[in-house]
Amino acid sequence: MSRTQARLLADRLTDRLAETGGEALVDRPYPWLIRRGLVQRQACADHRCDDGIRLDTGGECENCGNVLHIRRARRAKIAAHVDRELPGLAAGERRRVLEERLREQAAIEAEDLVWRREKARAEQARRDAARAAAQERAERERQAAAAADAMRQELPCEDCGQDRVAGLCEACDHRRQTETLIGEAGLIASAWSSNLADPGTVAAVTAEARTAISGGIATAWQEFLQITDVAALEANPEAAEDAYAFAAFQTAQQVVQEYQDNALAMLGRTEEDEAEARWAYKAEQGRPWFQHNTTGGDAIAAAAKAAKTARERTAQYLLATRLEQLRQQTAARTKTAAAAPWTDRPIHSMASAVRGSCRARP
């Protein structure tokens, strides 16, 4: 207990003893302390108030002052109404009428307070019920999600049929992602190196990209076999296929990034890109802080940086626009062609040769 709290407690007990008439009149100290001496008596709605004293600071309760001011204002208002309605009353009669109306107003306010408290309790009960319902609903949803996830974990792989892999094993997932990356690489290569309106040219470039990536995957796999235990892979064919799928996925990721960097570099040399760079260069040189010396070192450096930024931004925009056009064309052609079975796709065919490549190693 702090010094302030100890002082406030001592002051409270002193005041309560004075109200009682002195400590000599307290014949049963414990009941007096519990029922009167230590009981907080709030003079207002502030929970920190005790007989008009703030328990946290020890100063006068400002809220009590406000309450007193409101009560005085209410009394003055009612007195004015009485004087207007019943002029000429004697002092005693006026006091009686005024006290009666004050009691009526106090009863109205007490009834209003009871109504507001009941309303607050009903609102709190409604919020508690809504919170409980929300928690119950969240628990049901959590249980349903857990049950659905458990059921999903029991599903076999859609591609290879491996049991209990949540619908897709890791190796087949890597194969699918690799196939997607190969298609993306073909689109990126076509975006800058072919006529987008010619499906044949786009198909040829896409096929070249697929062949190049497939060759890169084969090279990466042979390099992997050089540094791994081939006998262990032969003893565990599933692990060999997983390793091959992951190696293919990593290789495809690297190639796609290289294709994207190359495409941005080539698109950065187009007429649109150069025009945007020239405009940005001149605009930067024309800024107020460079107008006095447009050919100075600072102006040239800032203009060159602005031109580079504009060129990169334009190249990215051109690549995104052309890729979107190619994707729409590819989607339109896909609607009219049946998808090849997964086992007939190049990545799966290459993966099926993993065992043979392992056995072919000396």
Tens-place pLDDT, residues 279-312: 998 888 888 878 778 778 888 899 899 999 999 9
In a domain, 159, yes or no: no
Q: Based on the fold, state whether residues 246 and 139 are members of the same structural domain.
A: no
The token pair at 143 is 């249980």
Q: Based on the fold, state whether residues 194 and 237 are members of the same structural domain.
A: yes
Q: Based on the fold, state whether residues 350 and 300 are members of the same structural domain.
A: yes
In a domain, 127, yes or no: yes
CA–CA dist 202, 325 (Å, integer)? 12
- Reduced to 3 states, what is the DSSP secondary structure of residue 54? strand
Q: Based on the fold, state whether residues 104 and 245 are members of the same structural domain.
A: no
pLDDT in tens, 11-29: 888 888 887 888 878 888 8
How many domains in the chain? 3
SS (H, E, C) 268-297: CCCHHHHHHHHHHHHHHHCCHHHCCCCCCH
Q: Based on the fold, state whether residues 242 and 323 are members of the same structural domain.
A: yes
Q: Based on the fold, state whether residues 128 and 204 are members of the same structural domain.
A: no
In a domain, 244, yes or no: yes
In a domain, 163, yes or no: no
The token pair at 240 is 């060999």
Q: The domain containing residue 54 runs over which residues? A: 3-68
How many alpha carbons lie under 13 Å from residue 167 in its C-beta half-sphere?
5
In a domain, 288, yes or no: yes
Q: Based on the fold, state whether residues 217 and 285 are members of the same structural domain.
A: yes
Tell me how many helices (H) and strands (E) the chain has: 12, 2
Q: Based on the fold, state whether residues 137 and 253 are members of the same structural domain.
A: no
In a domain, 73, yes or no: no
Q: Based on the fold, state whether residues 57 and 109 are members of the same structural domain.
A: no
In a domain, 85, yes or no: no
pTM of the model: 0.55
Q: Based on the fold, state whether residues 143 and 179 are members of the same structural domain.
A: no
The token pair at 249 is 């996925």
Q: Based on the fold, state whether residues 127 and 273 are members of the same structural domain.
A: no
Q: Based on the fold, state whether residues 186 and 301 are members of the same structural domain.
A: yes
Q: Domain boundary residue among 34, 68, 102?
A: 68
In a domain, 62, yes or no: yes
Walk along the chain (362 residues) and give the pLDDT tens digit of each residue: 677 778 878 888 888 888 788 887 888 888 888 888 888 877 777 778 887 787 887 787 877 767 666 777 777 888 888 888 888 888 888 888 888 888 888 888 889 888 988 999 999 999 999 999 999 999 999 999 999 999 999 999 998 888 888 889 999 999 999 999 999 999 999 888 767 878 888 888 888 988 999 999 999 999 999 988 888 888 888 888 899 999 999 999 999 999 999 999 999 888 888 899 999 988 888 888 787 787 788 888 998 999 999 999 999 999 999 999 998 888 887 766 544 454 444 444 444 545 455 544 44
Query: What residues form DSSP beta bridges with 54?
Result: 49
